[in-house]
Amino acid sequence: MSGRQRALLVLAGTNCLWAGSYIAGKAALANWPFASVNMVRFTIAAAILLPFLWRGRHRLPTAAGDRWRLIAMCLLGFVGNKALEYLGLSLTTASDTALLIAAEALATVLLSAALLSERIRRLEAVGLLLGGLGVYLVVEGGVRAPTVLAGPASLGNLLVVASLVLEAGFTVIGKTVVDRYPPLLLTAAAVTGSLIAWWPAGLAALWARGWPTLSMAGWIGIVYLGAVTTALCYWAWLWGLKRVMPGAMAPLLFIQPLLGTGLAVWIRGEHPSWATLLGGLLILLGVTTVVVRREPAAEAPVASAGSA
The average pLDDT across 259-272 equals 68
Q: What are phi and psi of 40, to 5 degrees?
A: -70, -40
- The reply to whether 38 falls in a domain is yes
Locate the DSSP E strands across the chain. none
> CA 287, 88, 115, 58 torsion: positive or negative?
negative
| Higher pLDDT among residues 8 and 219, named by residue | 219
pTM for the model stands at 0.76
Q: Which residues, other chains included, contact 131 with Cβ-Cβ below 8 Å and sequence gap of 6+?
A: 102, 103, 106, 282, 283, 285, 286, 287, 290
Angle between helices 3-19 and 255-267 (to 10 degrees): 30
- State residue 71's pLDDT score: 97
In a domain, 156, yes or no: yes
For the cut 80, the answer to whether the pLDDT of residue 127 exceeds it is: no
Q: What is the DSSP letter of 101?
A: T
Cβ atoms of 260 and 108 closer than 8 Å = no
31 SS3 class: coil
Range of the domain at 89: 3-293
Is 178 domain-assigned?
Answer: yes
The candidate with the shortest Cα–Cα distance to 135, out of 172, 165, 115, is: 165
pLDDT in tens, 109-122: 677 666 666 565 66
Q: Is residue 65 part of a domain?
A: yes
- Which of 259, 238, 248, 240 is CA-nearest to residue 290? 248
C-beta neighbour count of 151 within 10 angstroms: 14
If phi over 0 gives left and psi between -120 and 50 gives alpha, with beta otherwise, what is residue 80? Answer: alpha
Per-residue pLDDT tens digits for 74-112: 999 999 999 998 988 888 776 666 666 666 766 766 776
Domain count, the chain: 1
> Is the backbone of residue 297 left (phi > 0), alpha (psi -120 to 50) or beta?
beta
Please tell me the predicted confidence (pLDDT) of residue 307.
35
Residue 240 lies in a domain: yes
Distance CA 86, CA 38 (A): 8
Report which of residues 69 and 299 the model is more confident about.
Answer: 69
Q: In whole angstroms, what is the distance from residue 74 CA to residue 77 CA?
A: 6
Q: Is residue 301 domain-resident? A: no
Q: How many CB atoms lie within 10 A of CB 296?
A: 8
Confidence of residue 73 (pLDDT cuts 50, 70, 90): very high
For residue 302, being part of any structural domain is answered with: no
How far is the CA of 62 from the CAs of 58, 67, 112, 146, in angstroms? 9, 7, 25, 47
Of residues 195 and 240, the one with the higher pLDDT is 195
SS3 content of the chain, % helix, strand, coil (to 5): 80, 0, 20
Instruction: Classify residue 213: in a domain, yes or no.
Output: yes
